[in-house]
């Protein structure tokens, strides 16, 4: 016969745990001294303790374990328990992985933003835009109405999204109320969904400018960019693009002063030089 301390050493279960299992009726001591209340376990209890510990390692609940050890003593009898438990854990793992993927996406996104902040000089830059496949929803109205559309788009596109959200602007001048634009998400392959059209933009030379601050102040950056077009004697080609490197995040709405938007205007035909 072993005292609770000895039995704890043998089984690797803590004294507190053994007392708890006794209280729960899962693993009763062989006898209890009615003077002192001391619990005593005999060798036959060791295997039961081992079985319980093994099932706990597999994260079965104490209720399940109680049911299992009450009715069964062979693994072939508990395959259904194992299967059900397995399914439950698989569901949990899937949910956790989903969370992990969201966390990783946010972290990666922030790293990209940090990299942009470190390397950009916030000046007009000429560069090549790569070809890109976009899932788009074309809209008419105010630019500021794009919020919900972006939400729906992201939900439909899901994990097919492979870059920052963008907007295509089809008006040649600024329009407050009846603008013609499309909210877009770059995707790796075509997606079929209601209200979504696929647009394939070819590579293009473009003048770009990184705008830091609220969307309401984009106009200033557009002016700078257009001035540069004029200076170079070239014209912008529609649609122009806005790439939202940093805007309202997945968690915080964030500080608009820290929003980062890249305006990209493709270079159209050169004007005849005088």
Q: Look-up: residue for tokens 């004697």?
A: 233
Residue 245 interacting with DNA (CB under 7 A) = no
- Toward a copy of itself, which CB reaches closer, 251 or 272? 251
Task: Mark out the alpha helices in the chain (DSSP H runs).
Answer: 4-11, 15-24, 44-57, 62-71, 79-119, 146-157, 218-232
- Toward a copy of itself, which CB reaches closer, 47 or 126? 47
Distances (CA, A) of 2 to 7, 43, 45, 124, 152: 6, 8, 10, 81, 65
The footprint of DNA on residues 55-114 (CB under 7 A) is: 56, 61-63
Give the DSSP letter string of 213-265. S-GGGHHHHHHHHHHHHHHHTEEEEEEEEEEEEESS-SS----GGG-EEEEEE
Number of residues that bind DNA (CB under 7 A): 21
Residue 45 interacting with DNA (CB under 7 A) = no
Find the shortest distance in angstroms from Cβ 147 to a copy of itself: 13
Torsion, Cα of 13, 16, 22, 27 (10° steps): 0
Residue 10: beta bridge partners?
A: none
Binding mask 2-31 for DNA (x = CB under 7 A): -xxxx-x-----xxxx-xxx----------
Residue 104 interacting with a copy of itself (CB under 8 A) = yes
Task: Catalog residues that contact a copy of itself under the rule CB under 8 A.
Answer: 47, 51, 54-55, 57-59, 72-76, 78-79, 82-83, 85-86, 89-90, 92-93, 96-97, 99-100, 102-104, 106-107, 109-111, 113-114, 246, 249-255, 258
The footprint of DNA (CB under 7 A) covers 3-6, 8, 14-17, 19-21, 35-39, 56, 61-63
């Amino acid at each position: 016969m072993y005292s609770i301390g000895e039995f704890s050493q043998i089984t690797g279960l803590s004294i507190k745990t053994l007392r708890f299992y006794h209280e729960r009726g899962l693993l009763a001591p062989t006898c209890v001294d009615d003077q002192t209340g001391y619990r005593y376990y005999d060798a036959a209890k060791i295997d039961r303790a081992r079985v319980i510990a093994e099932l706990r390692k597999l994260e079965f609940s104490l209720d399940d374990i109680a049911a299992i050890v009450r009715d069964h003593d062979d693994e072939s009898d508990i395959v259904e328990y194992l299967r059900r438990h397995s399914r439950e854990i698989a569901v949990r793992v899937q949910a956790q992985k989903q969370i992990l993927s969201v966390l990783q996406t946010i972290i990666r996104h922030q790293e990209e933003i940090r990299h942009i902040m470190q390397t950009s000089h916030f000046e007009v830059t000429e560069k090549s835009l790569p070809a890109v496949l976009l899932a788009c929803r074309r809209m008419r109205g105010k630019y500021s109405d794009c919020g919900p559309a972006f939400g729906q788009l992201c939900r439909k596109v899901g994990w097919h999204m492979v870059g920052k959200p963008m907007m295509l602007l089809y008006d040649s001048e600024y329009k407050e109320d009846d603008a013609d634009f499309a909210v877009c998400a770059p995707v790796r392959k075509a997606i079929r969904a209601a209200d979504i059209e696929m647009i394939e933009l070819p590579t293009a030379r473009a003048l770009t400018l990184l705008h830091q601050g609220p969307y309401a102040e984009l106009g200033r950056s557009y002016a700078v960019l257009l001035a540069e077009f004029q200076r170079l004697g070239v014209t912008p080609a529609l649609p122009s693009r806005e790439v939202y490197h940093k805007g309202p995040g997945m968690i915080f709405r964030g500080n608009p002063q820290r929003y980062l938007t890249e305006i990209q205007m493709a270079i159209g035909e050169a004007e005849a030089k005088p």
